[in-house]
Amino acid sequence: MSGVGDIGGAGVSRASSAAAPSAVATSRHPRAVPAAVRVAGGGWQDDVRGATVVWRRELIRFSRNRLRILTSLAQPVLFLFVLGTGLSSLISRGVSSGGGANFKTFMFPGVVAMTVLFTATFSAVSIVWDREFGFLREMLVAPVRRGALIAGKCAGGATVATLQALIMLAFAGLVGVPYSPALIFTLIGEMLLAAVAITALGTALASRIAQVESFQVVLQFVVLPLFFLSGALFPLHGLPTWLSVLTRLDPLAYMVDPMRRAVFAHVTTNPVVARLFGATMTWGSWHLPIGVELALTAAFAALMLTIAVREFSKTD
């Protein structure tokens, strides 16, 4: 019995000595509290990050597609130098050459706006591609507001369109437009605002279209009337009443006119050229100030963004 007691006592003693270090360790190192985990989504930081990612994606796609950059310049260059030269020959020599301005000088703001128009609207094609190949669904399930995704998409498309139009500004000196820093910065600001508005329009159109072929048809139906009614190729005064009304309903006309007014403010012309080419947008007898035209462009951009966000909110 004593042996059994000794063995039992020894076991208890060994158990107590084995448990002692654990107790000491527990007292020295208290139980760690799990770190707080923030669930993504719902905060403005997540929305900004999501919009930035979409914006960067557009820039990466643009920079890697050099063929797109070159082909996008082909049409504006043809309009400016081929069509502009041909039309200049139809205008009176005294008007086209007198005063240091010709028809290509008049067309230059319209061609820049055309570059913004085509680049910004066709950048929305990627939305339809993403929907067709399933990538858009992955974007929509991200823990960010859909308005942030639309904002990033429009910012990316506007940046790409502005960069493309900046390349066209390099041809300004070839058509009699001076490389004035004030003029260049003014045109860049107006191009950026126009690019946001047109990209928002393209995004709103692409929000409910499921096939690329259908989107291209819609773009041709919308883009060409916007371009030809904007006054990019002809002055907006002295037109028939029906055509004058349509030009005043064209939102692109309020983007072309500020650019043209900025150009002619830095070009020396005679009164005949100024009256023929530099006439401003009018509502009846009221000559619209540039601030009103820019405000109308900003309002159009806000409207298109609102429609795009609302349509994307319905997307499954």
Q: Where are the domains of the chain?
A: 43-313
pLDDT of 5 above 90: no
What is the per-residue pLDDT for 35?
52
Please return the burial class of 184, using the count of CB atoms within 10 Å of its CB with bins 0-12, 13-18 and 19+: middle
Packing angle, helices 212-228 and 125-133, rounded to 10? 170
* Residues 23, 27, 29, 34, Cα dihedral to 10°: 100
Most confident of 45-59, 81-95, 270-284: 45-59
pLDDT of 101 above 90: no
Nearest to 154 by CA among 303, 14, 2, 18: 303
Task: Count Cβ atoms below 10 Å from residue 38 Cβ, excluding itself.
Answer: 9
The model's pTM: 0.80
Tell me the C-alpha distance between 154 and 200, whole Å. Answer: 6
Query: Facing residues of 283 across strands?
Result: 286
Query: Facing residues of 287 across strands?
Result: 282
Give the residue-averaged pLDDT of 282-310: 92
Q: Which residue has the tokens 């993403």?
A: 130
What is the per-residue pLDDT for 20?
47
* pLDDT one-digit tens code per residue, 185-212: 999 999 999 999 999 998 888 887 777 7
Q: Is 299 left (phi over 0), alpha (psi -120 to 50) or beta?
A: alpha
* pLDDT one-digit tens code per residue, 208-242: 777 777 777 887 888 899 999 998 888 888 889 99
